[in-house]
Amino acid sequence: MEGRVWYLPHMPTDPALQDIAHALRQAQRVVVLTGAGVSAESGTPTFRDAMTGLWASFNPEELATPEAFERNPELVTRWYDQRRLGCMACLPNPGHLALARMERELTARGGRFTLLTQNVDRLHQRAGSQNIVELHGTIMVWRCTRTGREVTPPPEPMQAFPPKSDDGGLLRPSVVWFGEMLPESALAASFEALDGCDLFISVGTSSVVQPAASFVFYAKRSGATTSEVNPEDTAITRWVDHAARGKSGLLLPEINRLAFDD
Ligand code: BJW
């Protein structure tokens, strides 16, 4: 109301945030798994949000499968090219930046930090994260379906759909579609990081897509403290030790503050 001064009551910190921060202070090997939610505050839609999700107006099965690409390469490549340009126009948000800081703090004290991301948008790289495993590839790189040769398209709309490589084959985004194997090197790096980690944090993923959805169980088997940061309950909520409810752009900087500044 105009002209009135409002005093906000002091909001007590969510105990789950305190618990995650406490575990982070003690941890030597930290694994963070991210999903589309961590980029939501940068303006990229998530996959499964009924109102704004990327697939609210498309059936995912029609766009993110090798069969869809074979059936309608023009539609699929147009959609991916639009998303590629959309991601390039976005900026990393405070959640991405907080994960980059978490890595710096961990490595400065001789610990190890691994970021496993299902995201294809490269916003973690742009925020400064270093040790990143791209589980589902990246939309920034495309490859020839005939030769496998990879290209990085320039930051402008492609000229023709479906695009062709210099080798004459169709170009497709270097992402992992349903029914395709994740890159072997990404899986090996993930299991190596999960084996022996002492803190696992799942951020902004609904945890319904395998195999990433099962990583929490590998972490648990290693004896790690497990946690999640998400505005909503997910498929793994009942399995984690600590669930902090809220946006990652708000909560991750707060976890860092509690762990490293206090
Ligand atoms: C916020 C927020 C804010 C919002 N802050 N949070 C075993 C059992 C059953 C099925 C399978 C199985 N193994 C394999 C499968 C098949 C399949 C699968 O898992 N299907 C399930 C749907 C059941 N998996 C595969 O096919 C995988 N391949 C494989 O395993 O090969 C071997 C094999 C094949 C077949 C059979 C058996 C074995 C490949 C999966 C590839 C997934 N690819 C996609 C598309 C990538 C390209 C692209 O970008 O277009 O990856 S699908 C899509 O989902 C994308 C995402 O990376 C992935 C995960 O989605 P994510 O990130 O969780 O997003 P959302 O939208 O679901 O959730 C967002 C969350 O954010 C929500 O929780 C919000 O609340 C939250 N949020 N705002 C924090 N501000």
Span of 54-58, 169-173, 241-245 with lowest mean pLDDT:
54-58
Using a pLDDT cut of 70, give the percent of the chain over it.
90
Q: Tell me, what's the pLDDT at 137?
A: 98
Average the pLDDT over 78-82 and give the result: 93
Q: Which of 20, 34, 47 to mutate to test the pocket of ligand 1 (most atoms within 8 A of CB)?
A: 47
Q: Edge-to-edge strand order for the sheet containing 150-151?
A: 150-151, 137-144, 171-175
Say if residue 165's pLDDT is above 90: yes
- 221: CA distance to ligand 1 center in Å? 22
**C-beta neighbour count of 191 within 10 angstroms:** 12
Say if residue 125's pLDDT is above 90: yes
State the SS3 of the chain.
CCCCCCCCCCCCCCHHHHHHHHHHHHCCEEEEEECCHHHHCCCCCCCCCCCCCCCCCCCHHHHCCHHHHHHCHHHHHHHHHHHHHHHHHCCCCHHHHHHHHHHHHHHHCCCEEEEEECCCCCHHHHHCCCCEEECCEEEEEEEECCCCCEECCCCCCCCCCCCECCCCCEEEEEECCCCCCCCHHHHHHHHHHHCCCCEEEEECCCCCCCCHHHHHHHHHHCCCEEEEEECCCCCCHHHCCEEEECCHHHHHHHHHHHHHHC
Could you identify the atom of ligand 1 that is nearest to the CA of residue 34?
Answer: 62
- 64: CA distance to ligand 1 center in Å? 11
Q: Tell me, what's the pLDDT at 194?
A: 98
Q: Tell me, what's the pLDDT at 49?
A: 76
Q: Tell me, what's the pLDDT at 50?
A: 62
Task: Determine if ligand 1 sits within 6 Å of the CB of residue 68.
Answer: no
Q: Tell me, what's the pLDDT at 4?
A: 47
User: How many angstroms separate the CA atoms of 121 and 114, rounded?
Assistant: 18
Take atom 9 of ligand 1 and give the residue whose Cα is closest: 210
- 210: CA distance to ligand 1 center in Å? 6
Split at pLDDT 50, 70, 90, the class of 48 is confident
Split at pLDDT 50, 70, 90, the class of 118 is very high
User: How many angstroms separate the CA atoms of 161 and 174, rounded?
Assistant: 16
Task: Determine if ligand 1 sits within 6 Å of the CB of residue 187.
Answer: no
Task: Determine if ligand 1 sits within 6 Å of the CB of residue 52.
Answer: no
Task: Determine if ligand 1 sits within 6 Å of the CB of residue 228.
Answer: no
Task: Determine if ligand 1 sits within 6 Å of the CB of residue 37.
Answer: yes
- 176: CA distance to ligand 1 center in Å? 10
**C-beta neighbour count of 142 within 10 angstroms:** 25
Average the pLDDT over 86-98 and give the result: 97
Split at pLDDT 50, 70, 90, the class of 2 is very low
Characterize the bridge pairing of strands 199-203 and 29-34. Answer: parallel
> Where do the domains of the chain lie, and which CATH numbers do they carry?
15-43+90-136+182-261 (3.40.50.1220), 53-89+142-175 (3.30.1600.10)
Average the pLDDT over 46-66 and give the result: 73
Query: What are the tens digits of pLDDT across the range 181-193?
Result: 999 999 999 999 9
Average the pLDDT over 107-117 and give the result: 98
Task: Determine if ligand 1 sits within 6 Å of the CB of residue 94.
Answer: no
User: How many angstroms separate the CA atoms of 134 and 186, rounded?
Assistant: 7
Task: Determine if ligand 1 sits within 6 Å of the CB of residue 181.
Answer: yes
Our answer to whether residue 136 is catalytic in this structure is yes
- Provide the mean pLDDT of the chain: 93
Span of 63-67, 161-165, 253-257 with lowest mean pLDDT:
63-67
Using a pLDDT cut of 90, give the percent of the chain over it.
86
Take atom 45 of ligand 1 and give the residue whose Cα is closest: 177
Q: Tell me, what's the pLDDT at 3?
A: 42
Burial category of 209 from C-beta neighbours within 10 Å (exposed 0-12, middle 13-18, buried 19 and up): middle
Q: Tell me, what's the pLDDT at 11?
A: 56
Take atom 11 of ligand 1 and give the residue whose Cα is closest: 210
Average the pLDDT over 136-148 and give the result: 97
- 24: CA distance to ligand 1 center in Å? 26
